[in-house]
Structure 1
Amino acid sequence: MKKFIYIILAGFIISCTDLDLRPEFGETANIAFQDVKNLERYMAKIYAAYSLTGQQGPAGDADLALVNDEGFTSYIRAYWKAQELTTDEAVIAWQDAGIQDLNTHTWSSDNQFVNVLYYRLFLIISYSNDFLEQSSSDLLADYGYNDTEIATAQAYRSEVRFLRALAYWHALDLFRNVPIVTEITTDFPVQNTPEEVFNFIAEELSAIEGDLPDPQQNEYGRADKAALWMLQAKLYLNGEVYTGSNHYLEAVTALEKVLNGPYSIENDYQLNFRADNHTSNELIFTLPSDGIQTQSYGSTTFLINGAIGGNMTAADYGTSGAWAGLRTTENLVALFPDETGDIDSRARFFSDGQTLEIADLTVFTEGYAVPKYTNLTTDGEQGSNTEFADTDYPMFRLADAYLMYAEAVLRGGGGSEATAVTFINQLRERAYGDNSGNITAGALTLDFILDERARELYWEGHRRADLIRFGQYTGGTYTWPWKGNNIDGASISEHLEIFPIPATDLAANPELEQNDGY
């Protein structure tokens, strides 16, 4: 089988968007879960909730009835917008209510895209909590599972706890002051402190580490120990932002486990973003896409089609869609030695008919296009569908582990600076085709790491968190076009480092308080 296919829950219909409700079942749970396969299907729904939008692809019977366009409710589409449109790496041309606010840092607690982020995260958390409740030891005994089935169910539980921890990490990063809810309840959830959420995630990951399969030993697209180690590294590397206390030593410890694993840097950088990227040995954890089986207007379909317009030909990228939305700013282009990719092959810019400067955010031809993701295979063959991508979303990959390791070493987390330089030069030798781009230990600085992260990882959903961690997001020390709703860029308030709790949730739950500044 090429890749893990999300299974839509036959007979398991999601009733509403309330965070304290579980799915409605076509039959009672004690009957539905007598077959362990139904637990697998439920787990698949939780995986799918990160990419897909409902029970019927590409649209219809949506999980969330928050907005008119179901495609907006794809989690990774909303997450990508939050992490990229708010930075120097991407802008979008569309004029749907609230979307330009992300380009210009003028969002509010009524922003529909912020609301999608929040409610999708807590929907995933609610699914996870219900799954864990339905698969408790007592209930497994009631279902009449044999020892093999119980072991299988326990393994599923560990994966679901990982998925819940991933959702809580995103919630911590995006909203900071969120409630920890671990069971289905009608009680109003009370907000926890960032330290409490951080500790909860760390403890959850530590508790399940031994129960997850070894790296590359689970079905493709499902969590294993390496995915957990990458999540630990992400949590710990940003720990000082979240809690005021640094955890770089723990980050290095987690990363060393990844780096001693079976992964390797691919010779072809672009393989990580093609329709056959499931063959890349560099990818550690992905959100799988299949143009036939997992159709939605989110995930990489959005990233491919949304980046095509102007003089571009959609078929050159394996798709029939040209949504004319996503481009980049001159700041990202300036980080490369040239814009053509002739020197640093990671530069994937389309400039024909596009201006470098952006005078009007709503005009697609202003700002270079970025066809980094494609629905073509390495052999140039089109994916299985001309409208929906086969390209998997690369949430965690080895190149990021190399860069995180180098950063954590420089920040005092231990490890080896010489090893860090070696890792960075592996990435640059791939990019330059030889050692002409290699650096020495003296050039390995935090400023260099921030720029190199952009060159290697742009449009992969890391930039906002990176700029915040490096102190370059808010304030006016570093600016880019349209930062702070100014064509030349302007200082923005520190409160914009996190998003507001949706006004609808504040109205519904008297226990919640709005994040400062909103």
Structure 2
Amino acid sequence: MKKINILISTIIVIATFSCTKLDEKYFDQIPADQYPENADQVATLSVNAYKKLQNMADDGGWWFLAQEISTDELAGPTRGADWYDGGKWVDVYTHSWTNDTESVNRMWSLFFDGINECNRTIQTLRAIGDNEQILAKIAELETLRSFFYYLLMDNYGDVPYVTQILDEGALPSKVARADVYDSIVSNVESNLKFLNTSDLKYMATRNMAFALLAKLYINAEVYTGTPQWEKAGQYCDSVIAGPYSLSGDVSAPFVTNNENNSEIIFSIPYDEDNFQGFRLHMRTLHYQSNLTYDMSVGPWNGFAVVPDHFDTYEDTDSRKEAYFMYGPQYASTGEEIIESVTGEPLVIDPYLPALSMTDGFTPEQIRTTGARIIKYEIKMGAKENLSNDFPLFRLSDFYLMKAETEIRLGRNGDEWVNPIRSRAGVDPYSGCTLDQLLEERGREMFVEGHRRQDLIRFNKWQNSWWEKAAHGPERNTFPIPQWAIDGNPNLGN
């Protein structure tokens, strides 16, 4: 509840409308005849647009899952009779999706839900007037809409670009990816002067916009065919010069109730009771890991680290112990956990033997292999949903992006990558290469939703890796869902 009140009240404060503390009833759709009575109510109504971020980290929206289990870092293996689920996890990992695959369908809906909610609220604001406060709120919501469009374009390529509520029956056509990119960049840059300059983490602030522009420009070659490394580096500089600092501990940005962490720029304010939707611990922990954390629910024994990714961490790298669960497992009392099927002490082997473990695999292999993910703190007594904010933009990312732009421009990026390595307790690079940087990004940004995009930008996405075959560029984006094409044939052209 605390985080939700922070989200609502800060939005209103920054709009200079009110500082009234509100409750989550304002997340519901408000009948049109109740709005707009005044600007304060419209500022409150805008929270609905931010609520569309809620489904990003789980299978309600699939964005996080699709960015990670499609890569060389994370797998959703089939474990005997568990975790096949119609092939949806294996299909994403092996890049075998179709336009009827669940991930493809739900991401499309997720992004357009956010875009449409922004458009509705912007239209309402414009009907009120054009005073300074209204213009600032419109700029904020247009920037949030641009964030949703950035994700849509990144995942689907050519997409409709709609910035107003369409008439019933309208069938918008696709716009070329490069043109969508240009529109997003233009919109965000034109709104910079209107955006709030604070370090609020739940709003589209100017600092969030700098981060978004850095992401857009660093991927410009993918989106348009023309690299923009200098501009990407300049916006990384703007982020780094902002009110943020690297945490001293690799775990600090991911603890429970991490809303005040100095690295986080823009995040989703998850709460175990009032803003649910982050269940990574349930998807990865062994069935009996509830004994380790005194959980009231049993985890589902699914996701595990790809073996080759696990091996990229040196033993001295503090992230290895902070991010992964493996080895002998103990209850919170200190007693050994006895695996319920094998009858032996529970020991997590960090190496998955295969993506599909069905016939021919032992119960130990099926149930206890693959390092599990504990990067996001699992507090004692954790419930089915976590209260860790999910960082969409984090300062460490922009240090590594700055290093990348320097290397791509023929300069030295060590100044920016080595603070990340030093914090993790590993030796600094001397003349960091792009391949080394991609590996470092994999280690530092693991399960933060960036790996798919990174592999594409570094031209590694089409390569083969553990249990995944090489393929052509046709898999660089996801297909538009068939149901969307059926409803709007223009999307199929």
One-letter amino acid of the structure 2 residue matched with residue 33 of structure 1:
P
Which of residues 49, 60, 64 in structure 2 aligns to 1:80? Answer: 64
One-letter amino acid of the structure 1 residue matched with residue 59 of structure 2:
F
Using the TM superposition, give the Cα deviation of residue 493 of structure 1 relative to its aligned residue in structure 2, in angstroms. Answer: 2.5
8 Å CA contact 1:85–1:91 kept in 2: the answer is yes
8 Å CA contact 1:358–1:481 kept in 2: the answer is no
Query: Which position in structure 1 is the counterpart of 2:139?
Result: 158
1:364 and 1:156 map into 2 onto residues whose CA distance is 50
Query: Which position in structure 2 is the counterpart of 1:42?
Result: 45
Indicate yes or no: 2:32 matched with 1:32: no
1:272 and 1:318 map into 2 onto residues whose CA distance is 22
3-state SS of 1:269 partner: coil
2:36 and 2:144 map into 1 onto residues whose CA distance is 20
**For residues 93-104 of structure 1, what are the structure 2 equivalents within 5 Å?**
93=77, 94-97=83-86, 98-104=88-94
3-state SS of 1:279 partner: coil
Which of residues 393, 415, 424 in structure 2 aligns to 1:422? Answer: 415
Deviation digits for residues 253-310 of structure 1 (CA, Å, limit 9, x no counterpart): 1111111112111111101111032121011111111223213xx3xx3212212115
Using the TM superposition, give the Cα deviation of residue 9 of structure 1 relative to its aligned residue in structure 2, in angstroms. Answer: 5.5
Which of residues 285, 291, 300 in structure 2 aligns to 1:323? Answer: 300
Which of residues 449, 453, 462 in structure 2 aligns to 1:461? Answer: 449
2:485 and 2:258 map into 1 onto residues whose CA distance is 41
Query: Which position in structure 2 is the counterpart of 1:91?
Result: 75
Q: Which segments of 5 or more consecutive residues in structure 1 lack a partner in the other structure?
A: 14-24, 54-69, 142-146, 377-381, 484-489
8 Å CA contact 1:314–1:322 kept in 2: the answer is no
Indicate yes or no: 2:241 matched with 1:260: yes
Which of residues 189, 194, 210 in structure 1 aligns to 2:177? Answer: 194
Q: Which segments of 5 or more consecutive residues in structure 2 lack a partner in the other structure?
A: 9-22, 78-82, 328-346, 358-365
8 Å CA contact 1:341–1:347 kept in 2: the answer is no
Computed over aligned residues only, the root mean square deviation of the Cα atoms, in angstroms, reads: 2.5
1:492 and 1:11 map into 2 onto residues whose CA distance is 43
Relative to structure 1, the CA distance from residue 103 to residue 364 in structure 2 (aligned partners, 3 Å threshold; closer, same or farther) is: farther
Query: Which position in structure 2 is the counterpart of 1:126?
Result: 116
One-letter amino acid of the structure 1 residue matched with residue 85 of structure 2:
D
Which of residues 366, 389, 406 in structure 1 aligns to 2:386? Answer: 389
8 Å CA contact 1:89–1:332 kept in 2: the answer is yes
Query: Which position in structure 2 is the counterpart of 1:61?
Result: none
One-letter amino acid of the structure 1 residue matched with residue 137 of structure 2:
Y
Normalising by structure 2, we get a TM-score of 0.83
Residue-pair matches, total: 442
Relative to structure 1, the CA distance from residue 328 to residue 199 in structure 2 (aligned partners, 3 Å threshold; closer, same or farther) is: same
Using the TM superposition, give the Cα deviation of residue 194 of structure 1 relative to its aligned residue in structure 2, in angstroms. Answer: 0.8
Indicate yes or no: 2:476 matched with 1:497: yes
Which of residues 435, 439, 456 in structure 2 aligns to 1:451? Answer: 439
One-letter amino acid of the structure 2 residue matched with residue 120 of structure 1:
L
Using the TM superposition, give the Cα deviation of residue 402 of structure 1 relative to its aligned residue in structure 2, in angstroms. Answer: 0.3
Using the TM superposition, give the Cα deviation of residue 313 of structure 1 relative to its aligned residue in structure 2, in angstroms. Answer: 3.8
Using the TM superposition, give the Cα deviation of residue 480 of structure 1 relative to its aligned residue in structure 2, in angstroms. Answer: 2.1
Q: Percent identity among equivalent residues? A: 28
Relative to structure 1, the CA distance from residue 401 to residue 135 in structure 2 (aligned partners, 3 Å threshold; closer, same or farther) is: same
Query: Which position in structure 2 is the counterpart of 1:205?
Result: 188
2:305 and 2:143 map into 1 onto residues whose CA distance is 33
Query: Which position in structure 1 is the counterpart of 2:215?
Result: 234
Deviation digits for residues 310-365 of structure 1 (CA, Å, limit 9, x no counterpart): 55346538774512221111111111113x85686555342433350332436453
Indicate yes or no: 2:459 matched with 1:471: yes
Indicate yes or no: 2:465 matched with 1:480: yes
3-state SS of 1:278 partner: coil
1:225 and 1:11 map into 2 onto residues whose CA distance is 24
